Structure 1
Amino acid sequence: MSFSKCTLLIKFIFQIIFLLVFASFFSACAHQQDAEPSPSKDTDKENVPPAQPEDTWKLPIEIPEGEFYKVGGWYSDHQILYITNLEQSSSVYLYNLLTGSSELLYKSEVPIVTLQTSPSKKNILIQSSPSTYEGQVTILSLEGSEILKQAIPSYELAFEWNPFNESQILISSFNEDWTFQMLLLDIEQRETTELTLPQPFVKWLGNEEVAYLNWNDDGPSLFAPLMMKSLRAETGEEIFTDVLQFAAFNDILMTVTVKDDEQLQATYTFYDEDKRIVNSFSIPHLSMFSGWLVPYNDLNVSKGEFLTLKPVKSAEADAYREGFELVSYDINNGKRNVILNGLKNEPILLSPSGKFALYGNRFEKVIDLETKELRELIEK
């Protein structure tokens, strides 16, 4: 094979890895939730009892207008935010699972791409798409009024809300060729600052500290060192070597690694704010052409419960047909609880109390983790 063909092959492999990492970033970081429930809102939300068994929930949701697009996330344990589309416009509704009522919070004249609540549920971030090469970021209050709106030239955007200072949001702005800019949006100051960070997929570790996997730009790699960097510093500090994936849940840091003597197992390790090990466990994992598949997961920090989809055995991802178990792990004592079997590897998102989980590519299902029941939010 000629040198030029080898070079093209290496670039092609590297692009595949980048896109896989990019996809897993959105699945993991776009929906990270804080453990504290938010206050109730409005008359149909006031004096409502805390989360109830799902047999009291009013389902499926009756869509007031337009076509269901997706659920954006939890507002409280008995309220969710969902998006509908009508022609080129989008609307955001607040749905009360106990009363069965939908309240219109916000209407956009251009399509809404995604929605996130702040970690404490005090604000809502909406990303809309006026055109292919422009993203529009809107910050709403709980009542749906606009606090800030800003247009950002981009092909794709990713967000990381600072749980230690909710007035700050890190924005990764990608061009069509996947080159990127890192921006820091300060809601309180109403300003955006460009940052110098070597990687686009970052997590907050503190008020001004972030972490990222420092992938080698010269060629494809299955693992990378996990770095910590202050936004004020020029260089970062290596925390761990050979990490496959990581996540940060407030003061809890999680890494996914593969041990040399257990190549068929993925090891999940949890660290406290001082980088001391809290607990660790291993599960089977699925291999792909460019590495290993890390299933969707989430953590409820206050309860110390980690929820993940787990393959029943190690295998090649393309040939795997046995489905996934939904399993919770107590990261403090290691207790394991199988909730459901035979599921697909699709996004999951815990409610503020950790009693329920949204599930599905559009979060169109909800799971009661105590009764182990799964229900459809939208009538098929």
Structure 2
Amino acid sequence: MSKIRIRFIVTILGLLFLSYGCQNEQVPVSKEEKITTSNKIKTLNIQPKEFQRIVGWIDDENVLLQLKKEGKITFERLNVFSGKQHQIYETTHVISEVVISPNRDCFLIYSAESKDKANLDIISIDGSIMSTKEVKPQSIEFSWNQDDQNKMFLTTFDTDWNYQVFQWDIPTGNITRLNTDSPFVSWYSDNLFVFNQKLSPQKDRGDLYLEDIRDKTVKNLVVADVYKFAVSANTLLTIEPSKEDKAMVYNFRTVGFQSYYQYEAPRVYDELGTFFPFYDLNVEKESFLTFEPYESKKLKDHGGEFKLVKVSPKEKKAETMLELTNNEPIVTSPNGKYCLYGYLFDQIIDLETKDTLYLIQHRDKMY
């Protein structure tokens, strides 16, 4: 499944039920909220009509919770062990996307005030508005700079999947267009970025290039023939074709692009080409999680076709965490011990015990 298609689905879901979005370093919390009653995950009894989703981790114990109360959307800090909640921010706008900053000290809210007016708001974890920018409502993909939180890429798409990439300088509010040859773009440092250039949107694979935001005359080929890529603080992950058509390779590379570990997994596909299961990259804690099919085949429209695998590229080994499970979004805690799981992140996986628990009371029908 292409990155564009996934983002389109997520954006539409966000507009339909006022939700959806996404996550790296600890921020201070009060002593009261930092004290946990036990190391057990606490299931909250939140009313089904109030719960929207869990956005992601704020630190090793707290997550950002999104609720709907009395016509307002509220964001709260939730301690997953004690169950304590603390309201951070509220709005009456329709929420399309929420993204937690790399340092986890603030978060972006992309919301619609009306059919003709949308806003980009940066909210600190203590609830204050740090920056706001008015934009027109459209489908936007966000890429926050991990080395400089004052910078962000905004990739917009129209109904025909035509794209434009912009750089947003958050303190000044300036948004400038970036003339790049691909919508698949991500920051690589404070001024460098990488992008996957494909011959056409229908192609599964492309070539990965490195550019400097300050000097567009330099364009270096990094890796040829890749499906997808992801960037962490110290690792570049490229997903590449294997020598056999029935497999694909997760290739872990240093910041200098040298491969130091390769993990091969079966390749599944659908009518539109190669299908990429959800994954989460947290190499700093020696953790890469991915859903892996049991064999190479055409993807079927039912659950339980995958196993959750934890890959440790530094130790060059892999371990199965869950069997016969569904391919749904995942994101690990900063310390790598727990993992939010599900389209609403309402479940949590203990990666030490391999138990899956519900953070919110489970409901057979959510809508």
Could you state the TM-score of these two structures normalised by the residue count of structure 2?
Answer: 0.88
The separation in 2 between residues aligned to 1:118 and 1:200, in whole angstroms, is: 21
**What is residue 15 of structure 2 aligned with on the other side?**
none
**What is residue 60 of structure 1 aligned with on the other side?**
44
3-state SS in 2 of match to 1:151: strand
3-state SS in 2 of match to 1:45: helix
- Pairing partner for 2:27 from 26, 30, 39: 39
Q: Which moved further from structure 2: 281-290 or 315-324?
A: 315-324
CA positional deviation for 1:98: 2.5
**What is residue 14 of structure 2 aligned with on the other side?**
none
Matches within 5 A, 1:58-137: 58-62=42-46, 67-86=50-69, 88-132=71-115, 134-137=117-120
Q: Which moved further from structure 2: 339-348 or 94-103?
A: 94-103
- Pairing partner for 2:317 from 335, 360, 367: 335
**What is residue 295 of structure 1 aligned with on the other side?**
277
The separation in 2 between residues aligned to 1:128 and 1:347, in whole angstroms, is: 22
| CA distance 1:148–1:82, shift in 2 (3 Å) | same
The separation in 1 between residues aligned to 2:163 and 2:86, in whole angstroms, is: 37
CA positional deviation for 1:224: 0.8
Structure 2: give runs of 5+ residues left out of the alignment: 12-20
| CA distance 1:263–1:25, shift in 2 (3 Å) | farther
Relative contact order, CA 8 A, sep 6+: which one is greater? 1
Q: Render the CA deviation track for 1:46-90: whole Å, top value 9, x for unaligned.
A: 4x26x963x2x3212535x96211111101111111111246531
CA positional deviation for 1:321: 6.1
**What is residue 306 of structure 2 aligned with on the other side?**
324
The separation in 2 between residues aligned to 1:113 and 1:87, in whole angstroms, is: 19
CA positional deviation for 1:322: 5.0
- Pairing partner for 1:355 from 333, 337, 340: 337
CA positional deviation for 1:200: 2.1
**What is residue 16 of structure 2 aligned with on the other side?**
none
CA positional deviation for 1:212: 1.2
Q: Is 1:280 equivalent to 2:262 in the alignment?
A: yes
The separation in 2 between residues aligned to 1:67 and 1:84, in whole angstroms, is: 5
Q: Is 1:153 equivalent to 2:136 in the alignment?
A: yes
Q: Which moved further from structure 2: 170-179 or 74-83?
A: 170-179
Which residue type is aligned with residue 107 of structure 2?
I
Q: Which moved further from structure 2: 286-295 or 319-328?
A: 319-328
**What is residue 206 of structure 1 aligned with on the other side?**
189
Which residue type is aligned with residue 106 of structure 1?
Y
Q: Which moved further from structure 2: 70-79 or 131-140?
A: 131-140
The separation in 2 between residues aligned to 1:110 and 1:177, in whole angstroms, is: 27
3-state SS in 1 of match to 2:300: helix
- Pairing partner for 2:253 from 258, 268, 271: 271
Task: Report if aligned partners of 2:304, 2:325 keep a CA contact under 8 Å in 1.
Answer: no
- The CA RMSD over aligned residues, in Å, is 2.5
- Pairing partner for 1:240 from 213, 223, 227: 223
Task: Report if aligned partners of 1:312, 1:322 keep a CA contact under 8 Å in 2.
Answer: no
Task: Report if aligned partners of 1:210, 1:230 keep a CA contact under 8 Å in 2.
Answer: yes
Task: Report if aligned partners of 2:205, 2:226 keep a CA contact under 8 Å in 1.
Answer: yes
Task: Report if aligned partners of 1:256, 1:268 keep a CA contact under 8 Å in 2.
Answer: yes
| CA distance 1:292–1:343, shift in 2 (3 Å) | same
The separation in 2 between residues aligned to 1:126 and 1:75, in whole angstroms, is: 15
